Amino acid sequence: MREGWQDRGYFKAQVSGEPKLLTTGPTTSRIAIAAHVDEGEQYRLEVIDFRHNKTLTNKEALRGLFPIKNGEITSRKKIAQGLANLNKAYAVQ
């Protein structure tokens, strides 16, 4: 649940709650989860910059590996995808 809030820019979201077993059977169970979320502040990406880079020197190409734009609401998922793309780019070198 916390990751979902982080994908919407709330990196300091505090999530708490308790699951409750509603029914159970031989092959299935039903549960309910009541959660309380204190989302905190919403963050936006200011800039991604690359410094002291000797292997891949095209900053624009490296920045293009991240599917998030400057000023956009920060997304954990988009940053993780960008880091995976960056890892692949360096592995090719």
In the chain, domain spans:
1-43, 45-93
For each of the chain's 93 residues, which pLDDT tens digit applies? Answer: 889 999 999 999 999 999 999 999 999 999 999 999 999 999 999 999 999 988 889 999 999 999 999 999 999 999 999 999 999 998 887
Give the per-residue pLDDT at 55. 87
Run of H or E including 84: helix 76-92
pTM of the model: 0.76
CA distance 3 to 74: 12
Q: Contact at 8 Å (CB) between 18 and 1?
A: no
